[in-house]
Structure 1
Amino acid sequence: MKRLILFSALALLGLAACNSNKNNQSSTESTDTAKRVVADLPEKFYKRLEGEIAGKPVIMNLQKTEYDYSGSYYYDGSWLSLSIDTIIGKDSIVLAETATEGYEYNENYKPNTLALKWTGNGFTGKWTSGKKDKTFNISLNEKYPAGSYAFDVTTYADSVLAFPGKAKSPAAEIGFKVLTANSKSAADSWINQQLQLAAGVKGQNTWDTGLKQVAQKYFNDYQKSVKALAPAGDNSSFLNYSNHTNQSIVFNDRDYVIVEQLDDDYSGGAHGNYASTFYCLDVKNKKRLTLGDVVKADTLLLQQLLEKNLRKQYHVKSGDQLNTVLFDNFLKPNQNFYFNQNGLAFLYNPYEVASYAQGQIIVFIPFTELKGYLNPDFAQRMNIK
């Protein structure tokens, strides 16, 4: 549950303002308003941020659509995911931090939090441990060095009734949160083509035109499907379908852009389903990376490393079988991977290697365990020694 944060200092400020000269009050309010305009966060954004948390250099990728914040950051370990905890105001937020991979078994677990205030070109604030026993300063600035790219966030939503004109008709709704590289360079144009293809937009359409076409096809298929299931115009709730696509940046450096596309769908049944697909884009060479572009290790070695790290990250004891977590007693690499400066991760969607209840299985392999097996060109680009 999101926590409400009350600031008694606001009351003190209010009393002080009442005692001040009206002309001074008017002047102060004008100045404060101007500052807020500069410092307010926009309704939609993607920001690449560099700086320090607890004195450690970090890179954060953060996105916002309306009141929803999400993202991740990394330093000298694997990723840490970020989700909204509390919205304090137009320039201040509290984000909750969780490990990207592995389970947290402690039912009393409380996540670490990042209290951030927007300064106009970055964030300052405090990192606080879930136990409240440690607090560190945060300083982050928005930066896009050579080899990284700025993006805009585009949203689109629409819906249609299954049986127009019928009271309490079930309906289908569709929504998109997608990215656009916002420069006019050839590299940005290529990135945008890849992002549109990932979202199902074909041809040279704009996002608006292309998403309308994708939505219309979805609605046409929906209405045909429900008419076959309920020819009399049944208004059962299981005919309320939904489909959402959400693109986010995972890595944005050294002319590599990694985009996670999360698709979720409900089309009847006990529950919907969801899946993440990673698009590792080599912008320099205008290609989508395969696993062989990153590592030259054979399947057996990768399987051994995956199983070793799965045990550590999902708390599977050495004497226990892997099928206490997975369907099978082994875990092989797939092509749904991503990376940062520190290592390589593989993601397995629900039902791929484990039950729906287990959620997505994500296993991180540090590059220190892959020395001698990295593709030389990749290692050079990433400056991995």
Structure 2
Amino acid sequence: MKKLILCSAIALVALTACNRSKTENSNTETLDSSKNTVADLPENFYKRLEGEIAGKHVVMNLQKTGSDYSGTYYYNGSWLNLSIDTLIGKDSVVLNENNYAEYYFDEHAKSNRLALKWVGNGFNGKWMNGKTDTTFPINLTEKYPAGSYSFSISTYQDSIKAFPQKAKSPVAEIGLKALTAPENAWLDQQLKKLMGFKDNQTNWNAGLKSMASSYLEDYKKNVAEYEKDGDTNVAFLNYSNHSNQSLVYNDKDFVIIEQMDDDYSGGAHGNYASTFHCLDVKTKKKLVLSDVVKVDTLILQGLLEKNLRKQYNVKAGEKLSTVLFDDYLKPNNNFYFNDNGLAFLYNPYEVASYAQGQIIVYIPFTELKPYLTPAFAARIGMK
């Protein structure tokens, strides 16, 4: 999903926010982590949460790695993406709520925020409007109904200096964050494949370490080429590589994984991309678009362009090239869905410039209903 939101993504990445002071008055007044503290949350976790925000039923997929939180939730439409704002103690956090379409037009817009406190089996707190003083209660419980799955998170990071003998040497660093499914062998194997494991790699820690070691070995070979030329003062040899897996849907025996990869190996900026993998645990297969919709490409293109105009404020009579490279938008295979609709994500340079970021277009199922495959419509609950 969009890197600033997955969406997310979406997008994400994907999607970061600067941490505010732990003593910021408005936040500490909302959450008092010194009262009624329950067992600390683990350092790394994934939680599927269900409940109400402002009286509306929501499903939230929330992840924590160290002191960083991220996730998404939805109720009657597309995803709202979550990133950390303020960490308060070990059981409370304030999250930014990011809508990718709104952020596209105003990156300085004040985000709505969710102030959450862990209560042992979920989170309670307040939803706070970023533009007004309006607040609503939040009540979320950790739930894994039939057709949803529990996950753990495995991480690995390492770094190496280009020229260890130099005090200010360029550095290569790699960070990996993977979802693991210890209670479902098929899912766990799919996650390993998506992460890039070789067929003979079955242990998560060993597999992640092997991936990191391979990256750093390639870096050392690259550095050696510069040393041959006597060039050991090249700041652009500060390399970085990250791969992160996150969940955007976990219901009805469908598990949708966003794999966000970003890499910098010199140049004006790095590159990043999100790839979505829709896994059908019931049939043990990865979905392709024709498993979800049976529709003429031109009809689907028309729905994409209609919703792009709506979501990116491209008025009637204006060309789509005000946002895109071209005056059309064709469907791709980078799709994902929730209970309410289907989304397509286009990574930088795919249909628009790097500055435009990821382009995400969401189509409600109400517009796709005539084209949904019967099997998928039945699974998702569309009548």
> TM-score of the superposition, structure 1-length normalised?
0.89
Give the aligned partner of residue 110 of structure 1: 110
Give the aligned partner of residue 92 of structure 1: 92
Classify 1:220/1:371 alpha carbon distance in 2 versus 1 (closer, same or farther; 3 Å). same
Give the aligned partner of residue 331 of structure 2: 333
How far does residue 182 in structure 1 lie from its aligned partner after superposition?
Answer: 2.9
Structure 1 Cα separation of the partners of residues 47 and 76 of structure 2: 21
Structure 1 Cα separation of the partners of residues 86 and 178 of structure 2: 24
Give the aligned partner of residue 161 of structure 1: 161
Q: Secondary structure at the match of 2:278?
A: strand
Give the aligned partner of residue 348 of structure 1: 346
Structure 2 letter corresponding to 1:156: Y
Classify 1:229/1:102 alpha carbon distance in 2 versus 1 (closer, same or farther; 3 Å). farther
How far does residue 347 in structure 1 lie from its aligned partner after superposition?
Answer: 0.4
Q: Secondary structure at the match of 2:369?
A: coil
How far does residue 300 in structure 1 lie from its aligned partner after superposition?
Answer: 0.7
Give the aligned partner of residue 139 of structure 2: 139
Alignment of 1:195-206 (within 5 A): 195-202=191-198, 203-206=200-203
User: Contact conserved, 1:103 with 1:313, CA < 8 A, in 2?
Assistant: no
Give the aligned partner of residue 186 of structure 2: 190
Structure 2 Cα separation of the partners of residues 147 and 346 of structure 1: 24
Alignment length, in residue pairs?
Answer: 359
Classify 1:109/1:191 alpha carbon distance in 2 versus 1 (closer, same or farther; 3 Å). same
Give the aligned partner of residue 375 of structure 2: 377
Structure 1 letter corresponding to 2:262: D
Give CA deviations for 1:321-344 in whole Å, capped at 9, x if unaligned. Answer: 111111111110000010000000
Using CA pairs below 8 Å that are at least 6 residues apart, which structure has the higher relative contact order?
2
Give the aligned partner of residue 60 of structure 1: 60
Structure 1 Cα separation of the partners of residues 161 and 153 of structure 2: 28
Structure 1: gaps of 5 or more residues: 12-31
Q: Secondary structure at the match of 1:301?
A: helix
Give the aligned partner of residue 216 of structure 1: 213
Classify 1:223/1:382 alpha carbon distance in 2 versus 1 (closer, same or farther; 3 Å). same
RMSD: 2.0
How far does residue 226 in structure 1 lie from its aligned partner after superposition?
Answer: 2.4
Classify 1:190/1:10 alpha carbon distance in 2 versus 1 (closer, same or farther; 3 Å). closer
Q: Point out the more displaced range, 38-47 or 88-97.
A: 38-47
Classify 1:9/1:301 alpha carbon distance in 2 versus 1 (closer, same or farther; 3 Å). closer
Classify 1:9/1:182 alpha carbon distance in 2 versus 1 (closer, same or farther; 3 Å). closer
Structure 2 Cα separation of the partners of residues 122 and 228 of structure 1: 53
Give the aligned partner of residue 6 of structure 2: none
Alignment of 1:39-78 (within 5 A): 39-78=39-78
Structure 1 letter corresponding to 2:324: L
How far does residue 91 in structure 1 lie from its aligned partner after superposition?
Answer: 1.0
How far does residue 3 in structure 1 lie from its aligned partner after superposition?
Answer: 3.7
Structure 2: gaps of 5 or more residues: 1-17
Structure 1 Cα separation of the partners of residues 153 and 205 of structure 2: 12
Classify 1:237/1:287 alpha carbon distance in 2 versus 1 (closer, same or farther; 3 Å). same
Structure 2 Cα separation of the partners of residues 52 and 142 of structure 1: 12
Structure 2 Cα separation of the partners of residues 9 and 331 of structure 1: 42
Q: Secondary structure at the match of 1:370?
A: helix
Give CA deviations for 1:192-231 in whole Å, capped at 9, x if unaligned. Answer: 1111111111124211111121112212221222222442
Structure 2 letter corresponding to 1:350: P
Structure 2 Cα separation of the partners of residues 298 and 220 of structure 1: 47
Q: Percent identity?
A: 66
2:354 paired with 1:360: no
